[in-house]
Structure 1
Amino acid sequence: MKNANSNLYVISIALIATLGGLLFGYDTAVISGAEQSVQVYLIESLGLGSIIHGLTVSSALIGCVIGGIISGFISNNLGRRITLRLAAVLFFISALGSAYPEFLFFEIGEPTVGLLIVFNIYRIIGGIGVGLASAVSPTYIGEIAPQNIRGRLVSWYQFAVIFGQLTVYFVNWGIANGQSSEWINDIGWRYMFASEAIPALLFFILLFYVPETPRYLASKNKEDQAYSILSKINGSKEKAKEILSEIENSLNTVKPSAGKLFSYGKTVIIVGILLSVFQQFVGINVALYYAPRIFESMGTGQNSSMLQTVIMGIVNVLFTIIAIQTVDKWGRKPLLMMGSIGMAIGMFGVALLAHNEIFGIWTLVFIIFYTASFMMSWGPICWVLLSEIFPNKVRGQAMAIAVAAQWAANFLISSTYPPMIDISGGLTYGFYGLMSVLSAIFVWKMVPETKGKSLEQLESIWVNNDKTESVKSNYQ
């Protein structure tokens, strides 16, 4: 009975933390339904071109990089829970500000360069919230979850990201369905952005009902509080004492560079950064941000393209569930490598069709195959690994660097898509296919398996292995 209650407790607080992922997905995907209207209202009306359009669509990612960079400092000093509350506030401000950027300073219906700048500032504010949530939500879940279900619970974070994207696809489609393009370009896009205020407010309120993580509390010498939470999580005082002892030993390990970023060598930081970069360089957010435009290029109308995006979102959710069910059984590496191969097949298929100017059902099939492969592998498993591989002492700093690198890569890929696709669709999608192949090689050669080990046990992979050759023996 105690175990059942403790599992219910862990699941409930993990679900609240995953709302950070839902808002992450909602905020980054809401632009997919609104970007063409924003282009008409704020880009074309001012005589600006595709480069400014790409930067505007991707402007939130600038905030994501900022949020990722500062996440380590804020979460280490204020705690994981307060950092997530701050993210919720930023989501709320961005939602309303992006919907009505004219508030206080501009006239509605009179677009100016100043209005375009203010719109992007609000999107950047939301991006900072995304950057904070993307670093701290999986860290929070990873630090609070028992090792036997840690992979599954952290994978829920990615499920929440995809569910947030799917939700906003339905919201965008519901807003646009049956409406004229003129109404969507004038009013509809504003409703799309404003809708995010509802889950942001819910997230903020629910965060008052979750505890701080025991590992953060132990790092601040609050062992009694950490012990209390560990007892609730594990349903056993003996188990709580054992885990707290491991945490304290980890935090008290004396190393020449104790507390410094490279206390455990450079390899763990490099692996974290490359996991983040490859997750973006395979091109997933191009498929998510520009999905309606890609499908519309196949000859469907604006409403139909949004409906096809909804279908893609449903597929994404289903395949993320597959990852959740298998990550603690099959392990992290097998799923990543299978996903990389599937993504390569999907993107090379799209590239071949685009090169021959063939748009039809097969384009949809290859895109869905590609995104399904991502969602059962790199989508959730990257976050699982990032929440696991960094030692307790440097987790906040290392996670901040990895997430900042991820959002920088995301910004680079997303903002360059419009000009790249204008040059050659075949080469653009072929590049993403090549990155998928390289990601498989990277996982095979450099990424350790973390299944079934406690966070403190995983530190042994990196301790006293500052030289790359020494670390390689742990990858097998």
Structure 2
Amino acid sequence: MGILYYKAALSDVPKEILNWRLYWAVAVFGILGASRGLDEGLVGGMVKLKSFQSEFHLDHGSEDHIANQVSNITSMVQMGSIGGSLLAFILCDKIGRVRSLQALSLLWGFGFVMVITSQSSIPQILGGRFLAGLGIGMTTVVGPTYLVEVAPKAIRGMLTNIFAGAVYLGVMIAYFANWGSSINISNLSRAQWALPQSVHIIFAGLIFLLSWTVPETPRWLIMKGRHEQALTTLCRLRQLPEDHPLIQTEIVDVREQLEREKESTHGTSRWAKVRELVMIPANRYRLMLGIMSQLLGQWSGASSITIYAADFFAALGKTGHSEKLFASCILGVVKFCSAYICAFFLIDFLGRRRCLYCGIILQTVSVCYIAIYLALVPPSAHSSPLSASAKHAGVGAIAAIYISGFGWAMGWNCFQYLVNAEIYPLRLRALGSSIVMCFHFINQYGNTKAVPSMLLSMNTYGFFVFCTVICSLGVLWVWFFVPETAGKSLEAMDALFQLPWHQIGRHGKDLSAGQGSFSDVVHMDYLEKAEQEVEQNEVQKNANL
């Protein structure tokens, strides 16, 4: 059924919609994900470099003092991102998705100019990272919102998860930049830590320039009453004439949804939207999905492993500084490849729910194995020769780190950006995404601040036990609450979330099939005919045999 659906979904649309204009717009906004990945990968290695520790006096003092200083520096981007994710709601709806992209690029780039030009000044580096965090926080709202609004529904999962994959493009580049600078630049030179940080400025500047080449989303233009421009833009993105049925049905669906929303809410102020989001049961369920996915995803351990990868590899026996950074590089490659494999081949084929299930289960098994290994072979045991069985188990633990990275890319990483952006009505999409991503960065900030202390108080194996428990809770939550949204148009999500709350997760896809927008009804008729045709062919084939 999965293969049939996937083939039918693609064959049901004109081949013209898969064109270079669409792919170019997706590439420009998709690469935004690299902003988060670059920081997560760079900052953990930066604070471990001798040149940085010496310049900012992190090479002496008590363990608690150093851990607190390091956590302040590493978490400051997350602190700024909390404000940035809320700022994105205001700017996205007011000035549009493209102008918001340009604004965040300036904040992001200028923030890291401050970081690089700091001269032994921790307040300046904190201020620069906070300012950059405002821009980076905006990316998690602006990027997915734009992508879901321009992507055809048949490949919406694939195109939107270009953003999620770009996170690990950034991580991979960051890890290699840190590793390269550690072996090629002297510990006495500040260029050892400053040069890798300049990658942020390069990316921010490039995205700012490319942003002038992409169109605004037709859905935002319709929301602002610019209907003719929206029609022209949609025709350019789809490479179809104005009178084509696909163009007409997509425009009609968006307009009708907006009219229904305005009639039901009787107001368009920001506070009216907040009330609508928290007072209407269907919207509360949407908000619950977003918030719980962030809470369970952020504390599952994947983000901590990315930021503090060198520390975890040291606990598993990688003692040399370059050796730890190189192992981190391999983790970056694994997560990068995994993210794009999932985006291109799994998220639309298997569906959101199955991918999340499989990813969390892989992650649970992996972190559980690491916890057991570290309980039996603590980091202190590596100071003396290990037995052959312990060495083999250690190799397995390092492999488990990489497997957990694949599980995260397949599960929470695909889910948190795509589903958060696609489930909300048009008028609430920017607000809902902003609130959820604000919660994302609050959790990431708390996680980044807490992990160094958790590793001291709980020991490393205790941290992985904690992650195992969170991942197990995640599996149960997905089973009961998470619905399948693959194949539904953005305007047809209302039919799914109008169901009783206890039916949405487990039975929502079947109960809402064929309901919603006109284009979805037409598509379901097509699928039924395709299934009947396949069944008839099978019967005929068996009869011939």
Counterpart of 2:406 (choices 349, 372, 376) is 372
Identity of aligned residues (%): 22
Look up the match of 1:117: 123
1:179–1:6 CA distance, 2 compared to 1 (3 A): closer
Matched, 1:183 2:188: yes
- Secondary structure at the aligned position of 1:261 is classed as helix
- Residue 73 of structure 2 is matched in structure 1 by 56
Q: Is the CA contact (8 Å cut-off) linking 1:176 and 1:303 kept in structure 2?
A: yes
Instruction: Select which of 498, 501, 522 maps to 1:468.
Output: 501
For 1:19 and 1:50, locate their aligned partners in 2 and report how far apart those are by CA, in whole Å.
32
Match of residue 338 from structure 2? 319
Segment of structure 1 superposing worse, 314-323 or 217-226 = 314-323
Match of 2:97 among 65, 80, 91: 80
Per the TM alignment, residue 372 of structure 1 is displaced from its structure 2 partner at its CA by 1.2
- 1:305 — aligned with what? 324
Indicate which of 225, 231, 252 corresponds to 1:221.
Answer: 225
- State whether structure 2 residue 449 is matched by structure 1 residue 428: no
TM-superposition CA deviations, 1:342-386 (whole Å, max 9, x none):
111111111122222345323311111111111122212321111
Distance in structure 2 (CA, Å) of the matches to 1:256 and 1:83: 26
Contact 1:92 1:197 in 2 (8 A): yes
Q: Which residue of 1 aligns with 2:277?
A: 261
Quote the offset at 1:40 in angstroms. 4.4
Distance 2:334 2:266 in 1: 46
Q: Do 1:343 and 1:374's aligned partners in 2 also have CA atoms closer than 8 Å? A: yes
Partner of 1:205: 209
Distance 2:354 2:188 in 1: 48
Unmatched 5+ residue regions in structure 2?
1-12, 268-272, 380-393, 511-545
Runs of 4+ in structure 1 displaced over 6 angstroms? none
Whether the 8 Å contact between 2:481 and 2:504 is mirrored in structure 1 is no
Give yes or no for the alignment of 1:12 onto 2:29.
Answer: no
- Classify the secondary structure of the residue corresponding to 1:329: coil
The structure with more radius of gyration: 2
Secondary structure (helix, strand or coil) at the match of 2:56 reads helix
Q: How many residue pairs are counted as aligned between the two chains?
A: 461
> What is the rounded CA distance, in whole Å, between the counterparts of 1:143 and 1:63 in structure 2?
26
Once superposed, what is the RMSD of the aligned Cα atoms? 2.1
User: Which residue does the alignment assign to 2:145?
Assistant: 139
Q: Does 1:23 align with 2:40?
A: no
Q: Provide the C-alpha distance between the structure 1 equivalents of 2:434 and 2:376, rounded to a whole number of angstroms.
A: 42
TM alignment of 1:136-175, pairs within 5 A: 136-175=142-181
Partner in structure 2 of residue 451 of structure 1: 486
Shift of 1:322: 2.3
Bigger relative contact order, structure 1 or 2, given CA contacts below 8 A and separation 6+?
Answer: 1
Which residue in the other structure is 1:105 paired with? Answer: none
**More deviation, 330-339/429-438:** 429-438
Measured after TM superposition, the shift of residue 55 of structure 1 is 2.3
* 8 Å contact kept, 1:99–1:192: no
- Secondary structure of the residue aligned to 1:255 is helix
Please give the secondary structure, in 1, of the residue aligned with 2:31: helix
Q: Which amino acid aligns with 2:461?
A: G
Give the TM-score normalised by the residue count of structure 2: 0.81
Q: Kindly indicate whether the alpha-carbon contact (under 8 Å) linking 1:68 and 1:400 is maintained by their aligned counterparts in 2.
A: yes
How do 1:267-346 residues align onto structure 2 when only pairs under 5 Å count?
267-297=285-315, 298-324=317-343, 325-346=345-366
- Deviation (angstroms), 1:225: 1.2
* TM-score, normalised relative to structure 1: 0.92
